[in-house]
Amino acid sequence: MAKQLSMDERLPARPPGAAPAGSGGVVAEGKSLWADAGVRLLHNPAAVASAVFLLLVLALAVLAPWIAPYPYDFQDYSAVRSYPTAQHWFGTDDLGRDIFSRMLYGARVSMTVGFLVTAIEIVVGGGLGILAGYYGGRVDMIIMRLTDIMFAFPDILLAILILGIFGPNFFNVLLALSLTGWPTMARIARGQVLALKEQEFVQAAHALGGSDGRIMLRHILPNILSPLIVTATIGVGGVILSEATLSYLGIGIRPPQPSWGVLINQLTPYVSTLPLLVVFPSVVLALTVLAFNFLGDALRDALDPRLKRRVPPRRRSGRSDRTWPYGRVAGGQGGGLPGRYR
């Protein structure tokens, strides 16, 4: 009896270096999407500089209790509102507290708020978006109408309202910023699921008897992580800026607990007499937000398979045709632009 060939055995062998059928030649052999994205990020100077800066800020924030010259609430009455000196690198505030030490401790608070709020947005918003896109119908209508209601209120005003009701403290800041941020993540996740749930691999999982939970977790979620990660990376900077805004207004993190917004608020009255003191926390805040934005943009480009290019073919020996990055010019066989550029 003849042996029945499997699907893989019936398909012709793919030559080394060739892309799979239907990929348009954009998938490099032996590299996953994440490995290829990592290589492309390393060749992006803005992404590398942003990542190095953010790692430095994170390291200083984690090690603040050990590397800060003074505790964040230590008061030196002999140096009140002083410019930078050898003892106080960034100067002191109106109570003689070291600004550099308070900036290090403030980085712990600001970074913690940024990452925790973004994680809550991914879990809540991403989960609701997956449910809405997968089930559709009434579930989709209820979740999307809820997001429409949330979008009707400006984020910062809604956060101010929540903090005005529950009072300003660390946990209420997390609650307010999480409630205002999850609808964006839900919309993005829903759109991705709507495009994926009709794909063949999802239909095959249905045909094989896979449960809805297994299909959403094992087949849909891994394929929508890229846009969620890009949105989350940019969103961390936005959350840090929102927390600084609320703290600057006096309804966010409460003194004496430091955050960058609290520092800017406390040093603003002296901007006309001691302008350099308020510059340090303001510049660090701006650079941190910019670094997250640059890194998010670089991640978006690196994780977009449409931006990849096929490896140019080698020029054969003995050929006199001129070559360029997409093959030989007119006059040679098989040259010219790839299909998507014609």
pLDDT, tens digit (0-9, with 9 covering 90-100), for 305-315: 665 544 344 44
pTM for the predicted model, two decimal places: 0.76
Q: Which of 113, 79, 60 is CA-nearest to residue 257?
A: 113
pLDDT tens for residues 232-286? Answer: 999 999 999 999 999 998 888 888 888 888 889 888 888 878 888 888 889 999 9
Percent of the chain at pLDDT above 90? 27
How far is it, in rounded angstroms, from Cα 293 to Cα 169? 27
What's the pLDDT score for residue 305? 60
pLDDT at 323 over 80: no
pLDDT at 320 over 50: no
Q: How far is CA 295 from CA 48, 187, 302, in A?
A: 8, 22, 10
Compute the radius of gyration of the chain from its Cα atoms: 27
What's the pLDDT score for residue 44? 81
Q: Are 47 and 295 in contact (CB under 8 A)?
A: yes
pLDDT tens for residues 54-94? Answer: 999 999 999 988 988 888 888 877 777 777 787 878 888 88
DSSP designation for 339: G
Highest mean pLDDT among 145-149, 325-329, 336-340: 145-149
Residue 95 vs residue 308, higher pLDDT: 95
Q: Which domains does the chain have, with CATH numbers?
A: 31-79+86-304 (1.10.3720.10)
Instruction: Mean pLDDT check: name the lowest of 157-161, 162-166, 334-338.
Output: 334-338
Percent of the chain at pLDDT above 70? 79
Residue 42 vs residue 172, higher pLDDT: 172
Q: Give me the DSSP letters along 102-165.
A: HHHHHHHHHHHHHHHHHHHHHHHHHHHHHHHHHH-HHHHHHHHHHHHHHHTS-HHHHHHHHHHH
